[in-house]
Amino acid sequence: MTDPAAAPAPPGAPRLLGLDTALYLVTDSAMCRAAGRSVAQTVALAVEGGAGLVQVRDKHAGEAEFDELARSVVAAVEQTRDRLGIDHEIPVFLDDRVASARRLLDEGLRVHVHVGQDDEPVERVRTAIGPEPLLGLSASNEQEFAAGEAAGGVNLFGVGPVWATQTKDVARAALGPERIRELAAAARLPIVAIGGIGAGNAAELAGSGAIGVCVVSAICAAPDPRAAAQRIRAAFAETPHLDDPAHLDEPSDPPAPHPAGGTP
């Protein structure tokens, strides 16, 4: 188990300062298509609804197709930011596709990378993309946190699945919100929670220490992605369990602000 008090926070965490991390949209091209929209249209609507982080995830696209998809998402995010006057960056992560990230960075596009435990090791990813882009790593227990922190160059952990999901074949059991709370306290980098999250349960993660909730199907397959994003974001910002007597004994002091500053 990592001890948060044992050493100073590793470099990486302060990189999230100024971002709006509460709602992290992860795209699924097939779901967007089935709902009658392009990925870029879905992203624009989700950003209007309050998504502050975006990840392009497509397990089937060929390399050139994925590059084009990522370009379309970066353009959609930039147009939406301009239109709404959003002055902070809305980072676009590429899931798994380190070579694509390198190509797009070389074109002058600002992209970031997310990898998992079975993907390219984070040391190699960081070498490939250079010091500037954000690097997310899937990590769902204390051992994976320790390894990711020791590797250096990681900025945030994606932790899940919180609940059962149809979107990905996940071998691990669902963690549940209480375990997310424990893991958020154990990690020395900011965590975002992923898996089975929607408007109906996002409030259970409010105050958990996660700086955001990652959502695929509840936005990509929604009839109205803008409204879905608004509802999930609002639910995550809610104080949970106010009607639950078990919480009435808890101290009323607000939690210390997270270093990333993105907690709603």
Ligand X SMILES: Cc1ncsc1CCOP(=O)(O)O
Known binding residues for Mg(2+) are 96, 119
Distance in Å, CB of 95 to ligand LCLJCK34, minimum: 5
Nearer to ligand X, 40 or 214 (CB): 214
Structure tokens at 32: 């967007």
d(CA 226, CA 234): 12
By the rule CB under 6 A, 124 interacts with ligand LCLJCK34: no
The answer to whether residue 160 forms part of the interface with ligand X (CB under 6 A) is yes
197 binds, among ligand LCLJCK34, Mg ion, ligand X, none (CB under 5 to 8 A by kind): ligand X
What are 262's two structure tokens? 């993105």
CA-to-CA dists, residue 250 to 3, 89, 201, 241, 242, angstroms: 24, 36, 21, 12, 11
Q: Whose Cβ is closer to Mg ion: residue 119's or residue 182's?
A: 119
Our finding on whether 28 is near Mg ion (CB under 5 A) is: no
Other CB atoms within 10 Å distance of the CB of residue 159: 26
Alpha-carbon 96 to chain mean position: 14
Tokens found for residue 78 = 């930039």
Secondary structure of residue 24 in the 3-state scheme: strand
Query: Cβ(109)–Cβ(146) under 8 Å?
Result: no
Helix (H) or strand (E) holding 261: none
**Residue spans of alpha helices (H) in 26-120:** 29-34, 39-48, 63-84, 98-106
Question: Which of 23, 189, 215, 229 touches ligand X by CB under 6 A?
Answer: 215
Nearer to ligand LCLJCK34, 164 or 242 (CB): 164
Does 168 interact with ligand LCLJCK34 (rule: CB under 6 A)? Answer: yes
Tell me the site size for ligand LCLJCK34, rule CB under 6 A.
16
192 counts as binding ligand LCLJCK34 under rule CB under 6 A: yes
- Smallest separation, CB 248 to ligand X (Å): 32
∠48-167-211 over CA atoms, to 5°?
Answer: 50
Name which position in 28, 96, 149, 204 contacts Mg ion (CB under 5 A): 96
Between residue 118 and residue 147, which ones bind Mg ion under the rule CB under 5 A?
119
Which does residue 136 touch among ligand X, Mg ion, ligand LCLJCK34, none (CB within 5 to 8 A, set by kind)? ligand LCLJCK34
Instruction: Give the DSSP per-residue string, 218-249.
Output: HHHT-S-HHHHHHHHHHHHHSPTTTT-GGGTT
Q: Which residues bind ligand X (CB under 6 A)?
A: 160-161, 165, 167-168, 170, 194-197, 215-218
Q: Which residues bind Mg ion (CB under 5 A)?
A: 96, 116, 119
